[in-house]
Structure 1
Amino acid sequence: MVLIAVACLVPVYWYVPMVAIREPVALFSQFLASLALIIMGINQFLATRAPGLETIFGPLDRIYVLHKWIAITAMVLLGLHDIIDADMDGLRGGVLSDVAEDIGEISLYGLLILTFASVVTFIPYHLWKWSHRLIGIFFVLGAFHFFFIEKPFDSLDPLGLYVSGFCLLGMVSYLWMVLLRPMAPRGHGYRVSSVKHLDDMTEIELRPRGRGMRHKAGQFAFLTLKEAGLSEEHPFTLSAAPRDDRVLRFSIKDLGDYTRRLRREVSVGMEAAVSGPFGHFKLPSGRDPQIWIGAGVGVTPFLAFAESLKTPVSGPVKLYYCVRNQGEVPYVAELETIAEDVGNLELIVVNSGEGMRLTPERISADLGSELARAHVFFCGPSAMRKSLQGGLILKGLKASRFHFEQFEMRTGIGLGALAAWLWDRGLHAHEKKRARKMQPAE
């Protein structure tokens, strides 16, 4: 965030002196457009998953959240740029300035439509992913608009070169994603060695065809099966601890069209590619008490965590495995066996189908005075996470010791909640109006 903020503040150095000789309102509009291009160039780079990206910007799950909000911020900046008149007197336009102005309009409305499609999460994933690739085209059109439109500085001036640098970063990143990356060897080669169906979950074990991939317990990777209809790349948590032979295991819940098709069609012998690993969701060092909370398929990183405990280097661990009914406990026997072997792991199944519920009060009561020293790891629905996180912090847990992943790679901005709220308010107003009409006249 600091790096992005600094990148946005640098143009102020060149814009401020121009206030004395140019219309301030129009200059401000030009400044907003420059900021939009800078952060869109950065955003195109964030989408590449380039090596070292997590070192600079944090774990990939957070990068995807940052990516979404940068895109929304860019659209706000472009919208304001379009509303606030950027025309200035005394500027000389080149032969392409009129064309660049029209191209800019196309770029703006194309980006607005595609960004809106990205935050409206009811659009099917495969359609969204296909349309999302078009954003880079409209970004290129926006860069063309910047290069050739009338502006109070030349594209070869320091300010022009600075903004152009980010435009170039974005265009190169886009070309890499859509043209070069698909042609390059993708990830590590694997072959499906085992398939198991566990209730509504499919467990796939992969054996490397070469050296394989190193990972840490709790990380995730992108899986591509080299089979018609299953070649779309998707992220899944690695549900087993690292092994010397680099065999990987994914435990995939049936949550959508792709995962249901995978359940029906995946078979032993299929070739696969695995890209990664990603994520900073990992066990801490030291012997402080730990709380693991896995809800449904959210138990998968804790399967890997539990296997890692076979080397006794941690303090006491309580694993709360939250399920809706007894049929949703596919790994309980495996976890119980590990708990018996390592001695410092306690498994607690919280079955809401039997009226059980995990609350901050229950966790606090189980830990007592140890809560302030504990590390809490959570993987599950965001609403549940927010409730437990807020409650535990109020009861003495340090905020920095609540660890979680934002594992939804595609998230909205609350439009569904807003629509539900407006609907409820409308129904409430309608009922009040109806009740007043039905009241007898005095």
Structure 2
Amino acid sequence: MRIFGVILIAAATLWPVYWFAGLAGQHDAGASFSQYLGSASLILMGINQFLATRIKGLETFFGSLDRIYVLHKWIAVIAIAALGLHDIIDAEMDGIRGEALSGIAEDIGEVSLYGLLILGFASVITFIPYHLWKWTHRFIGVFFAMGAFHFFFIEKPFQNAEPLGLYVSAFCLLGLASYLYMILLRPMLPVGHAYVVKAIRHVGTVTEITLTPKGRGMRHKAGQFAFLQLAQSGLSEEHPFTLSSAPAEDGSLRFSIKDLGDFTRRLGQNLDEGGDATVTGPFGHFTLPSGRDPQVWIGAGIGVTPFIAFAESLKTRESGPVTLYYCVREESDAFFAEEFRQLAADVPAFELVLLSSANGERLTPDIIAAKAAADLGRTHVYFCGPKAMRSALRTELISKGLRGSRFHFEEFEMRSGIGLRKLANWLLDRGLSELARRREQRTQPGE
């Protein structure tokens, strides 16, 4: 994500401190702080509703869409935490008279709080099926609207027409307008590009879909992704997938989709040729640099799909030496190895290195650094695969001389948790260790 966008959001959230600091001198400081937390939560949620629209221009300020999804998640976490603290810390102030609807606003605020807490918690529990999560996620806008109503009519030490009231109200209106756009206006707008499913090919557990445009089609760069929606029963959910083909003269697109869940399983089994499809995008900044500096591509499993498009694009562009490390568990899982070998034969600057962990072959920073040698500082590294592998390689390669700005990656999961599973596993391990320790103490003979 772009630091400029993060600074904008932080500044927007902290700006009301100026007004609330003045109020704290006139009223109870704790209550003033609580009211600031409630206002900050509304500001963040209004921004988050706006980020969810995916309108053009967002990537300019906040970075590629995959980073925006990460930003969206953490803004929601902070907003709900602030909202929870607002509820815990008493916000009532002596001498403040409420409007006629203040009692109702209080009750609606409670409903909004618990609704947002439940849906927010459901969003970070990643084992909830995607279609159920997406369906319930739509109601966040409803509970946000209740929160805005609570703000407009609740007892507070300032009027809605005053600068502080107008400021917070502007973000409430931004969030409400964004939500209405998503549920009412966007479905009626001609968003996306119309395509037809031309061909379907099954390669192991991967389904390759080739689409041809009905009209002009979508222009994209190798490595970008798009949202795919298929006009077929059971497959009409919109999902993001990497485009596994470089831009083609006829405007055709290819998606290589691995069977990883209910939707992708249905897609592999039920999709028919000739059906209509809508593609929205493109998104993402995971694209090749200009120039002839050396490049290292690392694709683990299905994470190799953007590199198919990368390799195809080498036929029509100049580049320095390129090495692709294709990492799989079994050699039989390397579904695209033959395609890469053919591309390597056509493009002398491109080299494929296939690594199978079942054969004891693992990619290490030492292997990459040894091959790059003195050129490591000029090398661009592109990675797509598991986060743990990415973190380990990036840290070690930077310590060996790679520039951090030249390690490029994409957030592989659009929906991710906040470490709850890791925390649960840690607590379970600690609990089991403690039980084992106590059991051992009970079985030891007395001294």
Fold shared per TM-score above 0.5? yes
Distance 1:331 1:323 in 2: 11
Distance 1:338 1:123 in 2: 40
Give the match for residue 419 of structure 1.
424
Give the counterpart letter for 2:86 in structure 1: H
The question of 1:248 aligning with 2:247 is answered no
Instruction: Map 1:61-76 onto structure 2 (within 5 A).
Output: 61-76=66-81
Give the match for residue 328 of structure 1.
333
Deviates further, 125-134 or 182-191: 182-191
CA contact (8 A) 1:22 1:88 kept: yes
Question: Residue 316 of structure 2: SS of its match in structure 1?
Answer: coil
Instruction: Map 1:420-439 onto structure 2 (within 5 A).
Output: 420-439=425-444
Give the match for residue 222 of structure 2.
217
How many residue pairs match? The answer is 442
Give the match for residue 16 of structure 1.
21
Distance 1:288 1:405 in 2: 21
Deviates further, 54-63 or 14-23: 14-23
CA RMSD between the two structures = 0.9
Question: Residue 310 of structure 1: SS of its match in structure 2?
Answer: helix
In the TM superposition, what is the alpha-carbon distance from 1:12 to its structure 2 partner?
A: 2.2
The question of 1:284 aligning with 2:310 is answered no
Give the counterpart letter for 2:386 in structure 1: P
Give the match for residue 85 of structure 1.
90
Distance 1:136 1:243 in 2: 39
In the TM superposition, what is the alpha-carbon distance from 1:329 to its structure 2 partner?
A: 1.5
Residues 209-240 of structure 1 deviation map (CA, whole Å, 9 limit, x = unaligned): 01100000000000000011000000000000
Distance 1:401 1:24 in 2: 48
Give the counterpart letter for 1:271 in structure 2: D
Give the counterpart letter for 2:35 in structure 1: Q
Give the counterpart letter for 1:348 in structure 2: V
Give the counterpart letter for 1:179 in structure 2: L
CA contact (8 A) 1:312 1:342 kept: no
In the TM superposition, what is the alpha-carbon distance from 1:245 to its structure 2 partner?
A: 1.6
Deviates further, 22-31 or 178-187: 178-187
Identity of aligned residues (%): 64
Give the counterpart letter for 1:5 in structure 2: A
Distance 2:30 2:307 in 1: 55
In the TM superposition, what is the alpha-carbon distance from 1:312 to its structure 2 partner?
A: 4.0
In the TM superposition, what is the alpha-carbon distance from 1:135 to its structure 2 partner?
A: 0.5
Distance 1:298 1:49 in 2: 24
The question of 1:204 aligning with 2:178 is answered no
Give the counterpart letter for 1:70 in structure 2: I
The runs of at least 4 consecutive aligned structure 1 residues that moved more than 6 Å come to none
Give the match for residue 141 of structure 2.
136
Give the counterpart letter for 1:133 in structure 2: R
The question of 1:262 aligning with 2:267 is answered yes
Give the match for residue 3 of structure 2.
none
The question of 1:233 aligning with 2:238 is answered yes
- Length-normalised TM-score, structure 1: 0.99
- Length-normalised TM-score, structure 2: 0.98
Residues 66-106 of structure 1 deviation map (CA, whole Å, 9 limit, x = unaligned): 00000000011011111111000111111100100011011
Give the match for residue 342 of structure 1.
347
Give the counterpart letter for 2:370 in structure 1: A
CA contact (8 A) 1:289 1:316 kept: yes
Question: Residue 414 of structure 2: SS of its match in structure 1?
Answer: coil
Tell me which of 172, 182, 186 is aligned to 2:177.
172
Distance 1:213 1:40 in 2: 32
Instruction: Map 1:300-315 onto structure 2 (within 5 A).
Output: 300-315=305-320
Give the match for residue 163 of structure 2.
158
Q: Per the alignment, do residues 312 and 50 of structure 1 end up closer, same or farther by CA in structure 2, a change over 3 Å counting?
A: closer
The question of 1:394 aligning with 2:410 is answered no
Give the counterpart letter for 2:327 in structure 1: C
Distance 1:49 1:141 in 2: 24
